[in-house]
Structure 1
Amino acid sequence: MDPREEQAIDAAKLYYRLGRSQDEVARALGVSRPTVSKLIQLAKDRGYVQVHIRDPRESAAELVERLRERYGLAEVRLATGPDHGDLLQQAVGRIAARLIEENVHDGDLVGLSWGKTLFAVAQQLVPTARHGVQIVELKGGIPLHSRRTREYETMTYFCEAFDAHPRALVVPVLFEHAETRRAVEADAHVRTVLELGRQAPTAIFTVGAASPDATLFGSGHLSPDDREFLLAHAAGDIFSRFYDDDGRECLPDLADRTIALSLEDLRAKERRICVAAGLNKVRALAVALEAGFVSHLVTDEATAELVLARG
């Protein structure tokens, strides 16, 4: 390496690494400012300097394409920015609301789940002129829960946004005995709502992590044995139906006591819009994608990267 190249490297380090101006570099090296410009250009020409521009738009576009290709998704939308907390929920909710508005049309029958994530989506919906839309609940609720699960408010916001008729499933999602669940499902109103849920071409839902903090775990509806089994074997849940790492519903006894759309019926739907964000949902979301439960995905960049990394 000749002295001129060494001087070019010194100039590049001062300029790029230390952020000095070209005048400051000139004074430090004892050369003129035009000479500094030539030295920097020489460092580039010799390959000692490589300029890398990270455009977050391009990064997001690459993630979108990788997700679409790997899981055969019709559409993917990503939120950028904070990767946790209420700000993340709001960001993802806003993007999901726009996607949903684009996919609800006159006369549509739309299936809807509930949860903190979907309440954040519901709050971001902009009233959109639609006619003849029906919103049908795809799972029962959790009455008398210590936490506010927001199922009523979520349904209300969705119906107001699309001037839709509500088809509410006003029953618990989980019963103590399978016989009780079967008796409730025999009721004409419940049977009608469940059948509408099966017929709906669109399902809007989230995935939940199988963790002690999950809503159903704190509801008092699970026995200690159920909790222990799910924590050991479940990857996550959709509609309070827990699935393992192969995407198969686990704990048959619990499934028999649950009033909600089945995972098989979900997989058969034309549009399966999943909204899920946060690092605690990576495993649940990755399995749901692999199992074919999702056709349209809204998540955040950090979650997307970790989901792809699992493969």
Structure 2
Amino acid sequence: MDPREAQALDAATLYYGLGSSQDEVARALGVSRSTVSKLIQLAKDRGYVEVTVRDPRESAAELVQALSERFGLAEVRLATGPDHGDLILTGVGRLAARLVEECVQDGDIVGLAWGKTIHAVGRQLRPTPRRGVQIVEVKGGIPMHSRRTHEYETMTAFCEAFDAYPRSLLVPIVFERASTRRAMEEESHIREVLELGRRAGTAVFTVGGTSPGSTLFGSEHLQESERQFLLANAVGDICSRFFDSRGRECLPDLAERTVALRLEDLKAKERRICVVAGSARARALAVALEAGYVSHLVTDEATAARVLAIAGSATGA
């Protein structure tokens, strides 16, 4: 296949498989909008549209079944298409938004993480009014950071979608001293929000990888020795709780300074909706799935395939 035909196949997959607009496809591929139209037509002429749009869905169905059976998941939804950064995030976010809309019912308490992935979910939520819903932040924030974390926007989007009450956790995610964190948690309004987070029957979160470019790594909250330890020993994080290759929280000193839902409390929830876009997080996701932190999964086809390959390798399959 020559480069032009390969580009046509990518364009058709983004356009038909992920539902991206031609402008979005143009930005992803670095071409003009008119070129995108020509590429899509070329894909049609070569017969790629039928193969790209239909076959990945069949492949996705097999992946859904394999993931559900391997990890005992209640629900799996996959976005199809090539891993093109923000476009695959949009596709995964759209699927996750539909799932969250179906899951949230009157009177529910929903624990909510923040970050780029969960913000993508919030942006695509449709008005789904419910009675007496509470949206509770399950981890503190990073008030002084050069990167936008979309904490406020994400909470607002979820509350507006469900006509819900916001329960914000307006404290730092990590304190300098564990004693300060313990004293803060004695404040009645903070204690109430943390207790609501523990009681929530549903949690919406993502699994992060462990790299120097991740949000918490770039903040002033971590000491350099802690960064180096996590890079060497942690495979990922959930709600800024870093875990090792067996899914156990690592670096106890940092854990004691962290204001976030504990992993054992997450595991006890009825609905644990995990949203992950991009195969760079596949290893962390595979460990989280193996540890039982996820009941409902929304991701993309490439990540799903990679997770299964990692799980098969780990078990000698």
Partner of 1:287: 287
Cα distance per residue 1:171-192 (max 9 Å; x no partner)? 0010011011001111101100
Please tell me the residue identity of whatever aligns with 2:78.
L
Matched, 1:117 2:117: yes
In 2, Cα distance between equivalents of 1:207 and 1:84:
19
Q: How does 1:249-260 map to 2 (within 5 A)?
A: 249-260=249-260
Aligned position for 1:175: 175
Q: Which runs of 4+ in 1 moved over 4 A?
A: none
Question: Partner amino acid for 1:163?
Answer: D
Equivalent residue letter for 1:89: L
Q: Look up the SS of the partner of 2:106 in the other structure.
A: coil
User: What SS does the aligned partner of 2:139 have?
Assistant: coil
- Please give the alpha-carbon distance, in whole angstroms, between the structure 2 residues aligned to 1:248 and 1:57: 35
Q: Which residue of 2 aligns with 1:230?
A: 230
Identity of aligned residues (%): 72
Superposed CA deviations along residues 154-173 of structure 1, whole A, max 9, x for unmatched, are: 00000000000000000001
**What residue in structure 2 maps to residue 89 of structure 1?**
89
Aligned residue in 1 for 2:134 = 134
- After superposition, residues 1-311 of structure 1 pair within 5 angstroms as 55-311=55-311
SS of 2:144 mapped into structure 1: coil
Tell me, what secondary structure is at the counterpart of 1:145? Answer: coil
Structure 1: which 5+ residue stretches go unaligned? 1-51
- How many residue pairs end up in the alignment? 260
Once residues 218 and 56 of structure 1 are traced to their aligned partners in structure 2, the CA distance between those partners, rounded to angstroms, is 37
Larger Rg: 1
**1:84 offset after TM fit, Å?**
3.0
| Distance (Å, rounded) in 2 between the aligned partners of 1:84 and 1:213 | 18
Stretches of structure 2 lacking an aligned partner (at least 5 in a row): 1-50, 312-317
Q: Deviations over 1:276-300 (max 9, x none)?
A: 1112101110000000000000000
Measure, in 1, the Cα distance between the counterparts of 2:93 and 2:215.
19
TM-score by length of structure 1 reads 0.82
For the residues of structure 1 that align with 2:98 and 2:277, how far apart are their CA atoms?
Answer: 16
Q: Secondary structure at the match of 1:280?
A: helix
Q: Deviations over 1:64-97 (max 9, x none)?
A: 0000000000000000113131101100000000
For the 8 Å contact 2:82–2:302, the answer to whether it is kept is: no
Query: 1:250 and 1:267 mapped to 2: Cα distance?
Result: 17
CA distance, structure 2, for counterparts of residue 129 and residue 237 of structure 1: 32
CA displacement at 1:56 relative to structure 2? 2.0
